[in-house]
């Protein structure tokens, strides 16, 4: 599904990703871990198409297409979804209006007819159950004045509505208490299928108790320095990142 | 300064009017000053320097040199399904439309109000020009304790001739004690010749009366519209103004509130969306002269193409105006890198027990927000439109009339969408 080869990306003069290789197949869950500042969010942003970063080397194939050639909105329409570490406030636009625009633009891209108000109502109702989100939150301006938990829950709700092929969750666990964490993780698990894949970016292994990964990768200084199965996450939890750093540096 | 040629033409007109008449005197005052240029403090960004050299058809519909009254001032009051027709209204005696002379005959007590009104601040040369060339007010008279549920529609339409022309109009609105009414003014033009549209409105809102005044300014390119609105509010009255500036080569709005009584409420709302080769300038004055009054000002702008916007908001709180609450906010989005916005809030407070606040901001659309929206599949153009629409909606949503709210929204979306598509 996703094939990243020797990906280098910089911002200004600073090289942040320094040769990433990663293969993700349908049905898999990959966890990307690593200390602060190692480039996890950068990788997620580059995949979603943020234009601040310049890709200087490497390729990214997504379902047979050259992902780096596509505008962010086209990537979304092809099935990429990024749950932001810091969801952005969209003043004056409610979640529902926002998602109606998004869904219908994606449908237009795919050559499908737009959905009408009745269909939306039905669909929203169905998806609201996934993350146990309240209608009142959806009619408020998106992310404006939302608590940390509400923002993350809203991200997963959007993911449920957009039904992506590849979901990238960037530190979706940060700032959540244990109950909120469980709800968010359950939402993600319900959305899992043999046809889609998930990349979970996290700093701690806590989230991985709920979303169990098939593979765990450690990102350090812009490279994947270690890959393994979920046991690697447990080892990191026990020993911290220092042993990896000392192995690499 | 006026060109020699234009000076001669206007001097001839002054002679005909009679140098000692009010009109002749006003024209002499105008001749001495000419059209404002960027050297005038209040016209810094809105220079009418070029006008000093343009000889116009000064009486587009008159066939003599003598100005005639309201019939060429293009005051058309029409009926429409959604609004109240003046004919219907006058049959129930709640409202009358008449000339100034007729009005003061029928309503002699107004003479006193007229004579004692506060002097006009910033009496710019265009006001003089209007007094000189438009001898007669048209008056809309709303009678005591009358409540007009439907909005009154006023179609202000300027018509072009093949030559550059000048249209001078004057409207006086007298809202008597306890009355309640709203006026919707559609300002439009036909043709696309160079027109100077100079419109003075004086509005007297009596004790306990409520008045809403909405302007929808949607002219053809080529029109320069100068709008002077003076609102005098007596005790316990409420006035809400809405100024929507959609299209014209140039719009200058002077909106002055005189708070002449206690317990007055004044709400000023404005939205301007200038595009390519358009300049829109809002100058507002809220003059708190009496205590326990409240003013709320919300102006917003979206500037597209190479547009220029100006906001100058003055709030005066005089010594007697204790317990005043005055709020002002002006927020702008530059939707194009070639657009400019000039803002200047100006608070002058002589009373000590008051609450005043003001804030102006001018910025671009948030790049983070745009990326967030695109990452969900919304195209850049649609994301921009969505954000801009949400931005302008705050002002539009304050309009009570649903039909109007919808038509304004549609027109503004269309304009924003067009400019957003062009910039891609
Ligand atoms: N917009 C930016 N400008 C400059 N440096 C940045 C920017 N974004 C990220 N960086 C730098 O890139 C490195 C990786 O950041 P990030 O991808 O956010 O790490 P992580 O998500 O793993 O904590 C850090 O050193 C960070 O300071
Ligand atoms: Mg991060």
Read off the pLDDT of residues B158-169 as tens digits, 9 standing for 90 and up: 876 667 888 888
Cβ contact (<8 Å) for A102 and B373?
Answer: yes
Task: Return the residue whose CA atom lies nearest to atom 25 of ligand 1.
Answer: A37
Q: What is the pLDDT of residue B63?
A: 28
Q: What is the pLDDT of residue B62?
A: 35
pLDDT tops 90 at residue A41: yes
pLDDT tops 60 at residue A69: yes
Nearest by CB: A90 against B372, B374, B393: B372
Q: Two tokens at A10?
A: 């910089």
B78 falls in which pLDDT band (50, 70, 90)?
very low
Q: How far is the CA of A207 from the centre of ligand 2 (A)?
A: 15
Nearest by CB: A93 against B371, B380, B386: B386
> Model pTM?
0.89
Domains and CATH numbers, chain A: 2-248 (3.40.50.300)
Task: Return the residue whose CA atom lies nearest to atom 18 of ligand 1.
Answer: A41
Instruction: Report which of B159, B151, B174, B134 is spatially closest to residue B78, judged by C-alpha positions.
Output: B151
Instruction: Report which of B389, B379, B398, B269 is spatially closest to residue A141, judged by C-alpha positions.
Output: B389
SS3 A218: strand
Nearest by CB: B377 against A77, A90, A93: A77
Q: What is the pLDDT of residue B75?
A: 35
Instruction: Report which of A132, A102, A97, A89 is spatially closest to residue A117, judged by C-alpha positions.
Output: A97
pLDDT tops 60 at residue B90: no
Q: What is the pLDDT of residue B378?
A: 97
Chain B residues whose beta carbon lies within 8 Å of the beta carbon of residue A51: 371
Cβ contact (<8 Å) for A71 and B366?
Answer: no
Cβ contact (<8 Å) for B382 and A89?
Answer: no
Residue of A42, A204, A221 to test ligand 1 pocket, by largest number of atoms within 8 Å of CB: A42
Q: What is the pLDDT of residue B60?
A: 64
pLDDT tops 90 at residue A18: yes
Q: What is the nearest CA distance from A245 to chain B, expressed in angstroms?
A: 32
Whether residue B112 contacts residue B206, with contact meaning beta carbons closer than 8 Å, is answered with no
B77 falls in which pLDDT band (50, 70, 90)?
very low
Q: In sequence order, what are the residues at sequence separation of 6 or more whose Cβ sits closer than 8 angstroms to the Cβ of residue A237?
A: A204, A205
DSSP B118: P
Q: How far is the CA of A205 from the centre of ligand 2 (A)?
A: 15
Chain A residues whose beta carbon lies within 8 Å of the beta carbon of residue B377: 73, 76-77, 102-103, 105-106, 109, 162
């Amino acid at each position: 599904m996703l094939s990243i080869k020797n990906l280098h990306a910089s911002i200004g003069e600073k090289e942040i990703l320094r040769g990433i290789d990663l293969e993700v197949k349908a049905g898999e869950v990959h966890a990307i871990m690593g200390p602060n500042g190692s480039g996890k969010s950068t990788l997620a942003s580059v995949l979603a198409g943020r234009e601040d970063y310049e890709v200087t080397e490497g390729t990214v194939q997504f379902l047979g297409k050259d992902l780096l050639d596509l505008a962010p909105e086209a990537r979304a329409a092809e099935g990429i979804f990024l749950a932001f570490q810091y969801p952005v406030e969209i003043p004056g636009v409610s979640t529902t209006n926002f998602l109606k625009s998004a869904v219908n633009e994606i449908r237009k891209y795919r050559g499908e007819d737009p959905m009408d108000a009745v269909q939306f109502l039905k669909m929203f109702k169905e998806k609201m159950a996934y993350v146990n989100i309240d209608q009142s939150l959806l009619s408020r301006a998106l992310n404006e004045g939302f608590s940390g938990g509400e923002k993350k829950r809203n991200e997963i709700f959007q993911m449920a509505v957009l039904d992506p092929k590849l979901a990238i969750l960037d530190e979706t666990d940060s700032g959540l208490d244990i109950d909120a964490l469980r709800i968010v993780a359950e939402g993600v698990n319900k959305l899992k299928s043999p046809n889609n894949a998930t990349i979970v970016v996290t700093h701690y292994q806590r989230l991985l108790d709920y979303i169990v990964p098939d593979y765990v990768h450690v990102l350090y200084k812009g490279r994947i320095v270690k890959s393994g199965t979920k046991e690697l996450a447990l080892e990191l939890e026990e020993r911290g990142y220092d042993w990896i750093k000392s192995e690499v540096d | 300064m006026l060109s020699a040629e234009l000076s001669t033409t206007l001097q001839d007109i002054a002679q005909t009017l009679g140098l000692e008449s009010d009109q002749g005197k006003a024209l002499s005052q105008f001749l001495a000053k000419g059209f404002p240029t960027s050297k005038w403090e209040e016209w810094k960004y809105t220079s009418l320097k070029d006008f000093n050299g343009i000889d116009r058809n000064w009486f587009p519909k008159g066939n003599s040199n003598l100005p005639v009254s309201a019939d060429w001032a293009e005051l058309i009051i029409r009926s429409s399904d959604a609004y109240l027709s003046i004919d219907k209204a006058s049959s129930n005696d709640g409202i009358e439309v008449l000339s100034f002379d007729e009005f003061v005959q029928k309503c002699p007590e107004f003479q006193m109000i007229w004579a004692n009104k506060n002097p006009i601040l910033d009496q710019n040369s265009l006001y003089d020009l209007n007094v000189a060339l438009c001898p007669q007010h048209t008056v809309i008279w709303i009678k005591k304790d009358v409540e007009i549920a439907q909005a009154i529609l006023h179609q202000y339409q300027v018509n072009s001739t093949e030559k550059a022309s000048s249209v001078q109009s004057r409207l006086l609105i007298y809202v008597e004690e306890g009355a309640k009414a709203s006026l919707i003014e559609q300002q439009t033009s036909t043709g696309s010749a160079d027109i100077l549209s100079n419109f003075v409105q004086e509005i007297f809102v009596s004790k306990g009366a409520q008045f809403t005044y909405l302007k929808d300014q949607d002219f053809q390119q080529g029109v320069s519209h100068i709008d002077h609105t003076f609102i005098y509010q007596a005790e316990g009255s409420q006035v809400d103004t809405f100024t929507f500036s959609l299209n014209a080569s140039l719009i200058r709005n002077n909106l002055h509130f005189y708070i002449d009584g206690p317990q007055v409420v004044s709400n000023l709302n404005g939205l301007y969306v200038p595009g390519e080769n358009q300049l829109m300038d809002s100058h507002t004055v809220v003059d708190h002269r009496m205590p326990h009054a409240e003013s709320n000002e919300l102006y917003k702008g979206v500037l597209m193409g190479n547009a220029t916007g100006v906001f100058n908001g003055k709030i005066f709180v005089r010594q007697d105006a204790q317990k005043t609450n005055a709020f002002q906010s002006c927020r702008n989005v530059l939707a194009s890198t070639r657009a400019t916005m000039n803002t200047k809030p100006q608070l002058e407070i002589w009373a000590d027990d008051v609450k005043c606040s003001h804030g102006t901001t001018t910025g671009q659309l948030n790049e983070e927000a745009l990326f967030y929206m695109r990452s969900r599949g919304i195209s850049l153009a649609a994301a921009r439109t969505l954000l801009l629409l949400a931005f302008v909606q705050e002002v539009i949503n304050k309009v009570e009339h649903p039909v109007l709210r919808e038509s304004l929204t549609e027109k503004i979306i269309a304009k924003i969408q067009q400019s957003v598509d062009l910039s891609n």
